[in-house]
Structure 1
Amino acid sequence: MLGFFTAKPYSPKLDIKADFVSVRGGDIEKKIELFKKAYYERILYGTSTGHDAFYVVGKWDGKKHYDEIQLSKYPDIVWEGTMLNWYKVPIGNYVAITFPSFRFGSYYVVPTENYIKYKKEEIRKALEAGAVGLEFDEPEFWHRAGYSEAFKRAWEEFYGEKWVDPESSYKARYKAEKLKAYLYLKLAEEVFNFVKELNPKAECILNPHSPINYAEMFQARSSWGGITAPIALSLQIEALDSILGEVWSDTIKANFMYGGYTWVDPFFHSYLERSYFENLVNNSNKKLYHLLDPKSDDPKFDWNTYRRWFEQDTLAAFMVGATNFIVAWPERLLTTFLPPAHEPP
């Protein structure tokens, strides 16, 4: 089975004749309508689990929710991501994914009860517009986070005791990461149950990176690095139908240690990550989708390099027995030539 996700409206140039499409971004109703007119019967809605701008700055309920941003103990850096021209800028103690001015900053949030209500309302609108499933992206709580008022409140509610600095002991670190995983597991379970109430036949997909990647890659993005996510735990969610293993060109070019040396081997890295996801769903009733991306987020390379990564990544997927695929952002190759901003060969 082949699908793709996109933030663009339907275009013949974008049409890869897939079995389904997952639409993201704004004007969802319009995008769903256009893909329906192009005879796409299976249209999903894709949204992030927890990196958000509009909820935080009060665009949903008129109240600012800066106390619900994941907060670190030390100031850090963040990627400025306008048009994928990545460079690092100071962000203070907030944890964010990118900080383009036109999006007010895309913050990682603590999934509170109020935030869960916000996500349900957002998703309900997409389902009412004709989406027949949900693709729920990247349930991520950073290791360096755990200092916001929202997280402290969640700690007291979950453990029945006052918050403890996660850095104060190994026990405190374990308890902090356990709570982080629980909060995103709760978010996913409540949202997927909500989707099934609205449409019992809807497909619910969760999109984590691999634990290998969460442990290593983000050292490049943050001086503190590391992410906690409820990956294996998510299989216990009855309403969850599928996992999309987010293995792609920007994860497979990360450094890894082997035999005491640091190596970069995109094919080997992809094979290792994809093997993890194949084993994760083995003997379960969950479907596995493998992610393929024709164009990296990273703008510093030429098209021949992107093609080589794509071929190595795709080969690894076939070698682990992949049968279901979702292509990420085909518009980067077919319609919108982001950096390097010229038409691919």
Structure 2
Amino acid sequence: MTTQRYTLLSLFGFLSMLGNAQQDTLQTPEKTAFQTVSPWMPEIDVQSDIAIIYGAHDTEELSFQNRLQSWRNHGYETQFMTGISWGDYKDYYLGDWDGENHLNIAQVQQDGEDIMHGPVNPYVVPVPSFLKYLKEEVVKKAIDNGITTIYLEEPEFWNYAGYSDPFKKEWQAYYGFPWRAQHTSPENTYLSNKLKYHLFYNAIKEVSEYAKAYGKSKGKDIKVFIPTHSLINYTAWQIVSPEASLASLPSIDGYIAQVWTGTSRSPNYFNGTKKERVFENAFLEYNAMVSMTEPTKRKVYLLTDPIEDGIKDWADYKRNYEATFTAELLYPTITNFEVMPWPQRIYMRPYKTSEDGAEALIPDFYATQMQVMINSLNSMPYANNKVNGSKGIGVLMANSMMFQRFPNHEGYDDPLISNFYGQTMPLLKRGVPIDIVHIENLSYPATLANIKVLVMSYANMKPLSKESHAYLADWVQQGGVLVYCGADNDPYQTVQEWWNTDGNQYQAPSEHLFELLGITVSNQDATFSVGKGTVHVLRTNPKEFVLQSKGDTDYISTITKAYETNAQAGKLIFKNHLHLERGAYDIAAVLTESVSDEPLVIDGPVIDLYDPELPVLAKKVIVPGTQAFLYNLNRVEKDTPKVVAAAARVSEEHYGKRSYDFTVKSPKRTVNVMRVWLPKRYKGITVTNVEGTTMTPEELEWDKSSSTVLLKFPNAPAGVQVHINW
């Protein structure tokens, strides 16, 4: 995600911090984080557990060490993030570091133009000198300043790159023959992208192993995470990255799933129509990231962003933030979140008030709503229950999805990665909560443990090893049901790979899989019994299921038979919504272009957390195309009084027989709205600031139906104290 540069406000905020270094210990376990290039400022004190400090650079005004210390002084765990394919490394690029200019390591496109992330900031070919610089000047510096968790952000190599001299040199070393221009053939495209994948896999391996080893020499246990877009998004945006392969590296501890409006608004096809489908895209993107880590026992933070890199208006940001936020909460085993990147641009940069309106800072109502949402993440519970609907249908993905995207060659066209959406969107739009399965994870037993029906295609990807087929064949033999979709007629079927080298002479990789399954497949659709399992072969490329109206009829019919008859997994339920009960929360989305236009009704009393007024509703009606985030008061544990929703973080709670005291903290210049559950109607409420001055609440309202009181007053990062008695 685009980094933010220092502003004069950053310096003023730092000076303010020096003058009033309020110690603030965050008591809860470390669940939530945000990333920032800025020092602490009261306007961006979002009250998460972790401040991830971006970049190790010093400026004349402010050192890296002082940036770290400013957040530590306010009770934050500090961690560190830096780019691994670009970054503010001018001392390296311009030769100040070693006396040699390194701007020539930029990724280069066919016309000879460098691909830049910003001024004097190229996307790089990760050559040895660059990795040496990262290790010795960036990672080492972070660890020496007390950092024990490092994020190597966004290993990205553009599909349309691959024309620079350093890349040509790496090609010769990797393949053992001279470089070939990727635009000249499908095979050269595939080989070029496979090398890009390999270069950043090795780069991350080398830098992360160095971080672990150097930390160990200092008596520290260093954790290394990879903040990365999903495989779906990188494929859509024509970027190559190591993705799922990194989850098996011993030196990688996990990921940040960089999913937000900007990635999820990428348009796709369904039922012959091309358009944005933000919620559905986000659901699939988070799915891809969660399934990438669960079998390998790696940790993953799910990210959302209340705005995006693209300049839109506040109404657009709000609508799509709700869509992506809902999607991330539908994965109840994940309890770690990056609540936002770049809080400075959210709280302190003006954006349009409407599509054609004037610019203004974040509206109070949106800031309040946003803070209700992010503060809910600080205590978002783990849950064993799942999203409602038929379980056990998986769709296979491979990193090689990124290899066939650019340029287009004769005989191959996959508009907006429709071969992927052809397998997923017809099911998701019918309310089936499908699971993404990564071919790179098939060696882990947990990967297919809960899958009843697995859909796959080699139309848009290819297997990077033959071992994956052995796992698939064994799974089918033991009772799994495989649905293979594809004509296997694209030009990438015959690229130089394991299935046609070293004595293998298969015309397509699926031939090797079918051989292990013991079946003979023609150009016609067919069904086979294999051991205890079943294989359905549809000789149609899955893009055809979504590029035309009602193109998925036969596909859905086959999936239904596979699920109900072959897998005997029960009735395949179609509906127009996804709904999850997660502790006291209800999370729901009602889909458009689905089996009906009926709304979903959730009985109350519930608090609507997407409404900054936090109303208590007797029931919530959710119409197609919208989502809901609700606090269900029927599931409140009524043992003690509690804040059930707030646009501020609650701490220092104290309970008496007839009293409840607590402190709430949130950024300066924002408004707190909160609901507090009480066993009886309050007799008195006192609100005071840290100076001890009594504050008059802007709103104070008792709701008998829910036994809650609504309070509204200005926020303060130093804290506001609330005393309630009854």
Q: What TM-score, normalized by structure 2, do the two folds share?
A: 0.42
Q: Is 2:102 the counterpart of 1:65?
A: yes
1:316 aligns with 2:327: yes
2:210 pairs with one of 172, 177, 194? 194
For the residue of structure 1 that corresponds to 2:42, the secondary structure is coil
Give the aligned partner of residue 332 of structure 1. Answer: 345
Is residue 114 from structure 1 mapped to residue 126 from structure 2 by the alignment?
A: no
Q: Cα distance, 1:156 vs. partner?
A: 0.9
- 1:106 maps to a residue whose letter is N
Unaligned runs of 5+ in 1: 75-91, 99-103, 219-225
User: Does the 8 A contact of 1:293 with 1:310 survive in 2?
Assistant: yes
Q: Which has the larger radius of gyration?
A: 2
8 Å CA contact retained: 2:215, 2:222 = yes
For residues 7-29 of structure 1, what are the alpha-carbon distances to aligned partners after superposition, in whole Å with 9 as ceiling and x for unaligned? 11012322222121110144321
Distance 1:65 1:272 in 2: 39
Q: Secondary structure at the match of 1:43?
A: strand
Shift of 1:275: 0.9
CA distance in 1, matches of 2:182, 2:302: 34
**Whole-Å separation in 1 of the counterparts to 2:230 and 2:96:** 32
Q: Distance in 2 between matches of 1:162 and 1:56?
A: 27
Matched, 1:184 2:200: yes
Cα deviation, residue 56, structure 1: 2.5
Deviation sequence 1:270-294 (CA, Å, 0-9, x none): 1111111111112112111111112
In the TM superposition, residue 320 of structure 1 has moved relative to its aligned partner by 2.5
Give the conservation status (yes or no) of the 8 Å contact 1:294–1:330. Answer: no
**Counterpart mapping for 1:59-208 below 5 A:** 59-74=96-111, 93-98=113-118, 104-120=119-135, 121-200=137-216, 201-208=221-228
Query: Who is 1:7 aligned against?
Result: 37
Letter in structure 2 aligned against 1:343: L
Name the counterpart of 2:258.
246
- Counterparts of 2:130 and 2:163 in 1: how far apart (Å)? 18
1:259/1:60 CA distance change after superposition, 3 Å: farther
- Give per-residue Cα distances to partners, 1:242-293, cap 9 Å, x unaligned: 1111111111111112223212121111111111111111211211111111
Q: Which residue of 1 aligns with 2:82?
A: 47
Equivalent AA in structure 2 for residue 130 of structure 1: G
Q: 1:129-164 deviations in whole A, cap 9, x for unaligned?
A: 122211111100011111101001111111121111
Moved more, 145-154 or 317-326: 317-326
Distance in 1, matches of 2:196 and 2:37, equals: 29
Q: Is the 8 A contact 2:223 2:253 kept in 1?
A: yes
CA contact (8 A) 1:271 1:320 kept: no
CA 246–286 in structure 1, closer or farther in 2 if over 3 Å, else same: same
SS at 1:73 equivalent: coil
Query: CA–CA distance in 1 between the matches of 2:109 and 2:94?
Result: 19
Contact 1:241 1:286 in 2 (8 A): yes
Q: 1:47–1:137: 8 Å Cα contact kept in structure 2?
A: yes
Contact in 1 for aligned 2:108/2:163 (Cα 8 Å): yes
Counterpart Cα distance in 2 of 1:59 and 1:315: 47
1:248–1:291 CA contact under 8 A, matched in 2: yes
Whole-Å Cα distance in 1 between the matches of residues 161 and 228 of structure 2? 18
**Cα distance per residue 1:106-148 (max 9 Å; x no partner):** 2100000000011112121121112221111110001111110
| Aligned position for 1:290 | 302
Q: Mind listing any 5+ residue stretches in structure 2 that lack a counterpart?
A: 1-30, 59-63, 353-358, 364-726
> Partner amino acid for 1:17?
Q
Listed one character per residue, the Cα deviations across residues 290-318 of structure 1 (whole Å, up to 9, x for unaligned) are: 1111221112x221221222111111000
Q: What's the CA shift for 1:338?
A: 4.6
Q: After superposition, give the CA deviation of every residue in 1:3-52 in whole Å (9 maximum; x if it has no partner).
A: 11011101232222212111014432111111121122x21111111114
The C-alpha deviation readout for 1:80-113, integer Å capped at 9, x for no partner, is xxxxxxxxxxxx6111123xxxxx3321000000
- Comparing both structures, which one devotes a greater share of its residues to helix? 1
Structure-2 change in CA distance of 1:61 and 1:73 (3 Å): same
Q: For residue 56 of structure 1, what is the aligned residue in structure 2?
A: 93
Q: Quote the residue 1:16 is aligned against.
A: 46
Number of aligned residues: 312
Q: Is the 8 A contact 1:111 1:184 kept in 2?
A: yes
Aligned AA (1:331): Q
Q: Distance in 2 between matches of 1:9 and 1:295?
A: 21
Give the RMSD, CA atoms, in angstroms.
Answer: 1.6
Distance 1:278 1:36 in 2: 30
Give the Cα separation in 2 of the matches to 1:199 and 1:58: 28
Distance of 2:157 and 2:264 partners within structure 1: 21
Aligned to 2:34, the other structure's residue is in SS state: strand
Q: Which moved more, 1:182-191 or 1:12-21?
A: 12-21
Residue 213 (structure 1) aligned to one of 221, 224, 233: 233
Instruction: Give the corresponding residue for 1:342.
Output: 360
Q: Which amino acid aligns with 1:36?
A: R
**Aligned partners of 1:32 and 1:130 also within 8 Å:** no
